[in-house]
Amino acid sequence: MTSMGVIRAVRRRPHLWPYGLTALLPYLRKEAMTELLPYSPGLENVIATTTRISYLDVEHEQIVVRGYDLIELARKRPYLDVAYLLLYEKLPDADEAAAFRAALRQEASLPDEMYRLLSLFPKTTDPMDALRTGLSFLAGYEDPAFLADTSREANLRKGIRILAKAPIVAANAYRALQGQAFVKPDPALDFSENFLWMILGRRPDDQAVRVFDTILTCYIEHELPNSTFAARVIASTLSDIYAAVVGAVASLKGPLHGGANEAAIRMLLEIYEQGGAARAEAYVLDKLRRKERIMGFGHRVYMRRYDPRALLLRDFIPLLVDRRPEGRELYAIYQTVEAVMAREKGIHPNTDYPIGFLLYLMGVPIPLYTPIFLCARVAGLIAHVVEQHENNRLYRPRVLYEGPRGLSVP
């Protein structure tokens, strides 16, 4: 420990000076450890890995994915082209895009046993728990040796299966929990249209498909959030790609991560029930006074800047707002809440805020919002697992111990 470290430890604890060095010794050890191993609660601003996949460039307000601006990709390319970019490190030409879609269609089915499993879930099961269990169940259909193969080729083949099957599991798990008939994928439909078809049980219109596809693209990859980090931590043990994705599902279930989209629309609906737009400002101020979170706002990386995905997606709201009779009132609430948060806290929406509202306007059941997030993120998760396995080092951080020492065993 440096002399400056000793001085800092002593100066910070004047109440212990009368008791001498013995009393200060545990704190000197702690000070020495934090000098060698800096402590950051929640690993905030800690760089955990190198990557060629994506980066949040806050200064330039860009989400960089394989060198491209994600917002430009979302405007100009469909979800599956961006998924291809993540997996194969290049945007596909026409033939490559067609072959990728064909590969996904070939894998877009579930074994009959899966549908039986979905029927067995207690009706109180959370859809994310059903999705987590369903994806884990699918791992059993892989050859054990192939399942354990962590090579790039093997991971991509298994990853394409997960990408193709996850929406089928998500949509039909929810249907089973609601006592509804299963809707199996239609091979004539493209990925995003098929996903909406299984969710809604009817053919979606072109405008809804376009907005839904853009939502999936906005969710597809976002550097190293909790769920992606969880997947990489699991992959670092050389566990298989299914295990890594299942771990990401468990992480994404939490309301501080994937569940924020559901919480955001429930908040708008609560304000609507309490009096509508006229109640919105007082509602937010009451929450802030009680130091409660306003879901769908703020982000640890963006801090007080506007999430560029939220900027893109809010422009779709006027296109869909009349699909619900309460749509315009909810939109007024949406705008008021945003304005109050900007004025009072200087905090802007993250992507979950407009996405929760857009999915609601399209008639998507609220409990499916987080499973949709996960299904969209699968492509990014695959890319991260592939990258982790190609240049692996086991994650094994340390702790800053604050418990007792030297206790005698009775």
At 43 the pLDDT is: 79
Dig out the tokens for 399 from the structure. 């702790």
Please tell me the pTM assigned to this model: 0.89
Whether 315 is catalytic is no
Whether 60 is catalytic is no
At 58 the pLDDT is: 80
Q: CA nearest 226: which of 242, 197, 250? A: 250
Whether 384 is catalytic is no
* pLDDT tens digit sequence for 133-158: 999 999 999 999 999 999 999 999 99
* pLDDT tens digit sequence for 245-263: 999 999 999 877 778 899 9
Q: CA nearest 54: which of 92, 91, 89? A: 89
Q: How far is CA 213 from CA 74, 134, 319, 373, in A?
A: 9, 24, 15, 12
Question: Which of 149, 307, 352, 389 is an active site residue?
Answer: 352
What is the secondary structure of 79-105 as a DSSP string? HHHHHHHHHHSS---HHHHHHHHHHHH
Which burial class, exposed, middle or buried, applies to 206 when counting CB atoms under 10 A from its CB (0-12, 13-18, 19+)? exposed
Low pLDDT (below 70) residues in the chain: 1-37, 299-304
- The percent of the chain in helix, strand and coil, each rounded to the nearest 5, is 65, 5, 35
CB 222 within 8 A of CB 56: yes
At 133 the pLDDT is: 98
Ramachandran assignment for 92, one of left (phi > 0), alpha (psi -120 to 50 degrees), beta (any other): beta
Residue 204: count other Cβ atoms within 10 Å of its Cβ.
21
User: Tell me, what DSSP letter sits at residue 18?
Assistant: G
Sheet holding 68-69, edge to edge: 54-57, 62-65, 68-69
Question: Which of 299, 348, 384, 389 is an active site residue?
Answer: 299
Average predicted confidence (pLDDT) for the chain: 91
At 398 the pLDDT is: 84
* pLDDT tens digit sequence for 232-243: 999 999 999 999
Question: Which of 69, 186, 190, 257 is an active site residue?
Answer: 257
Q: CA nearest 157: which of 227, 98, 217, 87? A: 87
Residue 148: what residue type? A
At 303 the pLDDT is: 53
Q: Using CA atoms, how far apart are residues 329 and 155, in angstroms rounded to an integer? A: 47
What percent of the chain lies above the pLDDT cut of 70?
90
